[in-house]
Structure 1
Amino acid sequence: MRIPVFRAVRHMADRAKLTKTREEEDLYKRQAQEVHQLIHFLEDSRPRIVGTIDRLKRRRAELAKEMEQVTREITAEEKRLQELPSVIADLKRERQHLAHEALKLHRHMSEVPGSAEDDQRVLDSADQIRRRAIAAINALLGDL
C-alpha cells in the first residue's frame, strides 16, 4: 500500500511541477513573440529614420536661421540610426535566449502517468486505512 501512496504523492507533485513548467514555457514563448514583434518594428523603422535625416538636411540648406536646431535633430536621428543595429542585435540575442529557454523547458517536460483522480482515490483509500488503524488502536487502548 505504501508504494501506490508514494507514487500518488509523487505524481501529484510532478503534475504541479509540470503545470508550472508549462506556464513558464508559455511565458517564455509570449516574451519571445513580443521581442520578435519589436525587432520587426525596429527593422521596419530604418527607412523612416533615413527619410527623416534626408528631410532635415534639406530643411537646413533652405532655412539658414533654423540651422542650429535642425542640426541638433539630425544628430539625434543619426545617433538612433547608428544605435539601431546594436539594439536589433541585442534583441535578436534576447529572442534566441528566450526561445532556447522555452525549448529547454519543453524538452524536460514529461507526462505524468495516470490521472489525478486515480491518485486521489489511492490517497483517500490510504487515509481511510490509517484512520481505521488509529481508531482500532484507540479502542484497544481505551479497553486497558
Structure 2
Amino acid sequence: MESMQTSVFRALRHMADRAKLAKAREEENSYKHRAQEVHQRINFLENSRPDIVSAIDRLKQRRAELAKEMELVTKAIAAEEKRLQDLPSVIAELKQERHNLAREAIKIHRHMPEVPGSADDDQRIVDSADQIRQRALAAIDALLG
C-alpha cells in the first residue's frame, strides 16, 4: 500500500511539476515574443535615423529661409516707419513749395499787360494781310514773267 501511496504522490508531484513547467514555458514564450517586439522596435528606430536627420536638415533650411524673410520684413518695417517719421517734414516742404509757386504765379499775373481785341480778330487781320501779300507777289510775278 505504501508503494501505491508513493506512486500517487510521485504522480501528483509530476503533474504539479508539469503544470509549473507548462506555465514556465508559457512565460518563457511570452518573454521571447516581447523580446522580439522590442527587437523590431529597435531595428525600426535604428533605421529611422536617416529620416530624422533628413527632417532636421529640412527644418534647419526652412528656419534659415524664414530668418532671411524675417530680416527682409524687419527692414521693410523700418523703412515704412522712417517714411512715417519723415512725413510731416516732407509735407511741410511741399506746402512751402506750393506757396512759393503760387506767389510766383501771382507776381507774373500782376505784370501781364492787357491785350486789346480778341485772338480771332488778330488772326483775321494777319490772314487778310497775308492774302494781300500773296496777290502782290502774284502780280509782280505776272509782270516780270
Taking structure 2 as the reference length, what is the TM-score of the superposition? 0.43
Taking structure 1 as the reference length, what is the TM-score of the superposition? 0.44
Q: Please identify the structure whose Cα radius of gyration is greater.
A: 2
